[in-house]
Structures are given as C-alpha cells and as structure tokens.
Amino acid sequence: MNSLIDFLSLADPNIRFVVIGSILLTASSAIVGTFTFLHKKSLVGDAIAHAVLPGICLGFILSGTKNPAYLIVGAFITGWLSLVSVEFITRRTRIKEDTAIGLVLSVFFGVGIVMLTVIQKSGNAAQSGLDHFLFGKAAALVGEDLMVFGTVAVVLLLCVFLLFKEFSLLAFDKAYAQSIGLPVRRIELVLTSLIVLAVVIGIQAVGVVLMAAILITPAAAARFWTHKVGVMVFLASVFGAFSGLAGAYISYIAPAMPTGPWIVIVISTIAFISFFLAPRRGVISRLVRQRSIRRTINNENVLKTLYQLGEESKNFLRPHAEADILHKRRYPAALLASVLHRLQRQGYVQRTGTAWQLTEEGMSRGQRVVKIHRLWELYLTTHVNIAPDHVHDDADTIEHLLTPELETELERLLNYPRVDPHQAEIPYKKPV
Amino acid sequence: MQPDITTTPALEVHDLTVAFDRKPVLWNIDLKLPAGKLIGIIGPNGAGKSTLIKTVMGLLPLSSGYVRLYDQPIDNVRGRISYVPQRESVDWDFPASVMDVVLMGRYGKLGLFRRVRQADRDVALDCLRKVGMEAYANRQISQLSGGQQQRTFLARALAQQADIYFMDEPFAGVDAATEKAIIGLLQAMTEAQKTVIVVHHDLQSVTRYFDWVIMLNTRLVACGPTETTFTQQNLQETYGGKLTLLSDVGDLIRREHFPNREGISKPAL
C-alpha cells in the first residue's frame, strides 16, 4: 500500500518521469490508434511496429549513442519504408494486402533482430538497454527521454485535434471525401505519419512486439461504450493512460517484471471487461435482452392459450386448471407454472384454488396477441402470396414483435377483416 | 444522335476512356448534358454506369479524353458538385449520428482544420427536414433502415448546396414511399435549375422520372431527351448482349500489358 502512495505522490523525480512518460506514451498511441482502428488499418499498425526495429538499430549504429532523437529518426524511416513496401506489393503484384503485411512484417523484424544481435555481440558498452525496445522499458524512462516523447506526443495531439473532422470523414467515406475536393492523399499521408510516430514513441512503453496492442486495443475497448468518435478518442486515451500507469507501477514494485507485457495485460483486461459489460454492445447486455425477449414470448404465449380456451367456452374469465392449459398447448409443466406465477405478480392472471383465470388486463393482452397472429396470417396469404398452411409459424413470432404503430397500419391495410385464413374470428377490442 | 445544347452544358465529356487493370470498361464516351434536368444513366450490370460518374468527378483516373463541368475543369468547380455514393459503399456501423453524416456535406465549404459552426448545423437540419428525417437527427446510423440510410446520404448531398448532383443508385433497396419522396425532391431541385444525374436500374420508371437518359453499355448507345432517346431500338442495343468483340479486345489489352493509348504507358511489374 505504501508503495502505491509513494508511487502516486510523484515525490521521487524518477517516478515522476516514469508516470508522466507512460501516460503520455500510451495515451497518445491510443488516440492515434483510434483512427487506425476506424480506418481499418489495425494490421498495418502491427507491421509498422515490427518494422521500426531495424531503424532503431541503424540509428544506434550510425550515431553510436542511445539518444532517443537518433533512434526515432531511424525508426521513423524504416517504419515508413515498411508501409511503402506494403503498398507497392499490393498495387503492383497479385499479392493481397494481408499477405503483403505478413511478408513485410516478418522480413523487417527479422532484419531488426539480426542487427540487434550483431550490436549486442560487438562489445560496444553503450548498447546495453537496446533490447528494451523488444518489450518496453517504461520503468526506465529518464528526463531526456521525456522531452523527446513529450514533444512528439504534443505534435500527435495537435494534428489529431486539427484534422479531427477530416480523419473521421476519411474513415467513413473516402470516395465522398475525394468528391468534395479534400486532399485525400495528403491527409492519409499525415495520418500514416502519425501512426508511425505513435508506434515509434509507443514502443518505448511496450516494445515492438506488443505495440499493436496499445495502438488498437484501447480503441476496440472504447468502441463498446460509445457511438461518437470524439468520445471514443477520449475513452481510448483514458484506457491507454490507465494501462500505462498500471504497467509502470507494476514494474516499480517488481523491477524484474517487464513493463510492456503488463501494460498489455491491463489494457486487454479493460477490453475484455468492455466486451462483457458494455451497455447494448456488450455480451451480458445482449444476454439480458434475449432473456427478457424470451420471457415476453413465454408470457404472451400463456396469455394467448388462456384466451383461446376462453374462446372455446365463450367465457374469457373462466378459471382453467394447469392440465387444461397443457392440453391446449404443450409446455414443460415447470415452465408453465413459473410463467403463471410471474403473470400473477404482474397482474395478468389470478389464482382460484388450483386453477388460473385471466384478469381484465390479461384478457386484453391475450386478445391482442391472438389478433395480431391472425391478422399477420391473413396479411401473408393475401399480400405476400404464401400458402395458408405455411403462415402459422411466421405469425407465432410476429405476434410478439409488432409495435402498436405497425399493428394499426396492419389493421388499416387489411381493412379490419373479420376472419383469418383458417376462418378463425379476429378479435378487436371494439367491434368495427 | 447528339441534340444540340444551345447554352453552356452542365457537363461535357469528350472521348472518355476508362480502364481497370488496363482493360477498358468505358470506350470513347462523348456526351453533353444540359443544366436543370433530371438525367438517368441506364444500362445492364457492368455497363460502366458508376464508373462514368466516378470518373467525371475525378475519383477514377481516365485513360483518355477530358471532362468539363460548366465549361471548366472539375477542380475549379468542386464546390458546385455533390455526390451520393452507393449506400453499400460505406460501413454503417461507424460511430456517428445522422447529424454527423449530414454535417459532412458542409466540410467542403468549411475547408481544412475548421470546426463546424452553428450555421452549418442549421443547414444540415434544414436538409434533414427536406428528406423527412429531422426526427432522426440524433439517431445512430447503425440503427437506420435502408431507406433512412439513403435519405441521410441525400440530406448530406443537399447540405453541400451544389449545382450538379451525381447519385449512384439512390433507389436501390429503398421502399416505395422513400422512392416517391426522393423523386419528388429531385424534381423540385431540377425546377430550381439544379442538374441531377442518377444511376438507375429500373427501366419501368425511366419515362416517368427522367427528362434525359444516358444509355450505356461500355460504350455510349444514346444520350438525349427521354421521349426521343428511350426507344425500343436503343433499348435493344443497350441490353441486347454485350459487344463480344469489344470485350475480347479489352481482355487482350490487359493480357498483353498493352497501353490504352500509344505513348502514355506506365511500367508494370
């Protein structure tokens, strides 16, 4: 606990660098990553991430130092080169984009690993720490790094802020953007440069291997929670920053732990939670919705059965034993009992001894279901030309789904018919 | 075949050839369209209808010829043209509201970097009203029906306040009510001297909808006022099978890596 307070109080300047640095790196990657995601370029981000490794090694070989400015320039160049290669291969050969990305990614990364190994074996004392670029080193950030990454992050944010509407439009409808005369090629060039830059600084936090995770995962998680690009960018940056912070903290308390993988674990957990918990789009929300639909269907089916029993006896409010209901329509007995009890709580049926009878509300709801069922059967036979013996199953579904507006429209369209295709009377609340 | 147009044509296409992967899909198109008309482009699948409007707007490179709008190159009159792409050409699961999409119609006038102003919102809302979608302004586009998606695209095009409109199958997959509403709107636009060019599929409605028709089947069959151009003979020529020889020669050009025009070949791998 004390370590958390020490960590968050930012009293130690080293910790301050690490905290600010990791938030900056992950948040700015997440912001640019949102547009990478919306432009459906997630795989491209991964290719760039792997392709910057040879650039970093080259920067080191040529400059002889680990000064981040040189390494960034090198990374930027090979990152770009990988993109140009992907585009060239896709355009000029029959190889498709996914294959081209796979090719370029592995070739660049392979070359990078070879160069890294050569540097490590060369005995150059300055090289120690270069391998941080493989898995990240957020916990080892120092003031000098922070200046460089801070500047790059500000540039990224500024570009996204200025070109926000252009990036959004391009992601949604590129041909249209072109038709209104936007300089599409140049805007794409800017966006691609931003992706490369975001990757170049993001790898400081998580390393090349896991870079795609902090570029894309925050956006993917944010997408579950919102329908607005602006909110999505904001959420992605918060998710990214939180995972960066958490990763840095973990490597602070357990220095042997690699930062990058922890950041990725945290952000993936956020994505996982979003996947399950998000309203509307989340899995649980969907399950709840489906459950409530199933309940409505069960409720209405039982009310319908009770109503139909009432039709037979010409007395809609007469009590029926559960066995009679089961005789009219087959349900699992336990299900019927539970549905009846639920309907009782909701005031649609009441119990007299062991028998059940409809209340006024129950009768009118049962009547509505029966009415829609028969109207729909009639509509299918008269307007859609479906044989009368094929319409029952469709109507069984539609009767629970139709909105009051569509119900009225259906009545009007069919002009309040008296009977359905099977000569069963169609019940209206007020006889027309 | 070409009737004279006395005033400046809204659109002039001269000797236009367009090729995909070297194979020409449009051969030597020549046409002039008058302003203030509702113009339909008809022809079978693969006739190059969408290709024609995309090329005219400069979205596809042309292999030969030129295009002029109001007697000017396209880039001088970008602000006066408006485009309704095919509904299926975008991913409707994009995080945006109907209003967001319609506001995109203002981006051309706004220019780079600038934010949307209240005046733009007013225009967008007005356009939504024209297509009967004002109640849906804040609806997520992922929840729209096909007809509502089409109306949204139409509102976006209207928000550009352009003079010439290119619409790629605006009636595809929309209900009868939407089709009627859209055609009423387009007719009102042409009365206000706007030019509306529509890629169209349904031959039944051609004479009711369009003042002019362009009949296309990889080459121009006919172009002119509907009553004199939309004839049985022209229909026969447009839909009566492809010109097999033309298509075969196109395939040959691709296979042999031949340039479409002497002297402007690009190296290929």
Residues in chain B closer than 8 A to A179 (CB atoms): 57-59, 81-83, 85, 166
Indicate yes or no: CB of A232 within 8 angstroms of CB of B95. Answer: yes
Indicate yes or no: CB of A178 within 8 angstroms of CB of B59. Answer: yes
3-state secondary structure at position B66: strand
- Cα dihedral A32, A33, A38, A39, rounded to 10, equals 80
Considering only the beta carbons, identify the residue of B107, B142, B166 that sits closest to A182: B107
Residue the block writes with tokens 């295009």 = B67
Tokens matching residue B39: 């113009």
Amino acid at A423: Q
Considering only the beta carbons, identify the residue of B59, B101, B269 that sits closest to A179: B59
Q: Give the Cα separation of A37 and A44 in Å (integer).
A: 10
A405: confidence class by pLDDT, cuts 50, 70, 90:
confident
Contact between A201 and A183 under an 8 Å Cβ cutoff? The reply is no
Among chain B residues, the shortest Cα distance to A169 is held by B104
Indicate yes or no: CB of B140 within 8 angstroms of CB of A227. Answer: yes
Does the structure show a pLDDT above 90 at A93? no
Considering only the beta carbons, identify the residue of A38, A172, A176 that sits closest to B83: A176
Burial pattern A309-337, b for ≥16 Cβ within 10 A else e, equals bbeeeeebeebbeeeebeeeeebeeeebe
Lowest mean pLDDT among A12-21, A309-318, A337-346, B162-171: A12-21
Angle in degrees, CA A209, A196, A128, rounded to 5: 50
Indicate yes or no: CB of B90 within 8 angstroms of CB of A92. Answer: no
- Looking at per-residue pLDDT, the higher value among A202 and A342 belongs to A342
Indicate yes or no: CB of A182 within 8 angstroms of CB of B104. Answer: no
Tokens matching residue B227: 């009553």
| Half-sphere exposure (Cβ direction) of A141: Cα atoms closer than 13 Å | 37
Distance of CA A331 to the CA centre of its chain: 38
Among chain A residues, the shortest Cα distance to B114 is held by A162
A2-278 has CATH 3.40.50.2300 classification: no
B11-255 has CATH 3.40.50.300 classification: yes
Q: Give the Cα separation of B231 and A116 in Å (integer).
A: 73
For B87-118, give the secondary structure using H, E and C: HHHCCCCCCCEHHHHHHHHHHHHHCCCCCCCH
Measure B1 CA to nearest chain A CA, in Å: 31
Pick the residue of B100, B144, B153 with the most A CBs within 10 A to test the interface with A by mutation.
B100
Indicate yes or no: CB of B59 within 8 angstroms of CB of A162. Answer: no
Which residue positions in chain B have pLDDT lower than 50?
1-4, 265-269
Q: Give the Cα separation of A201 and B136 in Å (integer).
A: 42
Q: Give the Cα separation of B217 and B206 in Å (integer).
A: 17
Indicate yes or no: CB of A172 within 8 angstroms of CB of B94. Answer: yes
Measure A274 CA to nearest chain B CA, in Å: 16
Q: What is the pLDDT of residue B263?
A: 57
Distances (CA, A) of A198 to A18, A72, A116, A230: 18, 11, 22, 19
Measure A287 CA to nearest chain B CA, in Å: 19
Q: Give the Cα separation of B37 and B194 in Å (integer).
A: 7
Q: Give the Cα separation of B209 and B227 in Å (integer).
A: 12
Distances (CA, A) of A280 to A34, A94, B92: 20, 41, 17
Measure B234 CA to nearest chain A CA, in Å: 32
Considering only the beta carbons, identify the residue of A165, A171, A227 that sits closest to B107: A165
Measure B138 CA to nearest chain A CA, in Å: 11
Indicate yes or no: CB of B112 within 8 angstroms of CB of A182. Answer: yes
Tell me which residue of B104, B166, B98, B107 sits closest to B128, measured CA to CA. Answer: B98
Does the structure show a pLDDT above 60 at A431? no
Indicate yes or no: CB of B104 within 8 angstroms of CB of A176. Answer: yes
Does the structure show a pLDDT above 80 at A200? yes
Q: What is the pLDDT of residue B18?
A: 92
Indicate yes or no: CB of A179 within 8 angstroms of CB of B83. Answer: yes
Angle in degrees, CA A73, A79, A81, rounded to 5: 105
Among chain A residues, the shortest Cα distance to B95 is held by A227
What residues of chain B, 50 to 69, have a C-beta less than 8 Å from chain A? 54, 57-59
- Looking at per-residue pLDDT, the higher value among A189 and A17 belongs to A189
Count of A–B CB contacts within 8 Å?
Answer: 79
Q: What is the pLDDT of residue A169?
A: 95
Residues in chain A closer than 8 A to B166 (CB atoms): 179
Residues in chain A closer than 8 A to B59 (CB atoms): 175, 178-179
Does the structure show a pLDDT above 80 at A319? yes
Interface residue B142 vs chain A (CB under 8 A): yes
Q: Give the Cα separation of B229 and A417 in Å (integer).
A: 48
Contact between B116 and B167 under an 8 Å Cβ cutoff? The reply is no
Interface residue B81 vs chain A (CB under 8 A): yes
Q: What is the pLDDT of residue A153?
A: 87
Considering only the beta carbons, identify the residue of A176, A180, A223 that sits closest to B78: A180
Contact between A2 and A221 under an 8 Å Cβ cutoff? The reply is no
Among chain A residues, the shortest Cα distance to B113 is held by A162
Contact between A199 and A79 under an 8 Å Cβ cutoff? The reply is yes
Q: CA quadruple A410, A416, A420, A426: dihedral positive or negative?
A: positive
Residues in chain B closer than 8 A to A166 (CB atoms): 107, 112
Q: What is the pLDDT of residue B267?
A: 45
Among chain A residues, the shortest Cα distance to B80 is held by A180
Could you please state the CATH topology (level 3) that the domain comprising A282-432 is classified under: Arc Repressor Mutant, subunit A (1.10.10)
Interface residue B90 vs chain A (CB under 8 A): yes
**Residue B136 gets which letter from DSSP?**
G
Considering only the beta carbons, identify the residue of A92, A173, A179 that sits closest to B90: A173
H helices of A207-348, where? 211-223, 229-253, 259-277, 283-313, 322-328, 333-345
SS3 content of chain B, % helix, strand, coil (to 5): 40, 25, 35
The residue extents of the domains of chain B are: 11-255
Indicate yes or no: CB of B107 within 8 angstroms of CB of A162. Answer: no
Indicate yes or no: CB of A168 within 8 angstroms of CB of B160. Answer: no
Q: What is the pLDDT of residue B244?
A: 66
Considering only the beta carbons, identify the residue of B54, B97, B269 that sits closest to A93: B269
The residue extents of the domains of chain A are: 2-278, 282-432
Residues in chain B closer than 8 A to A92 (CB atoms): 268-269
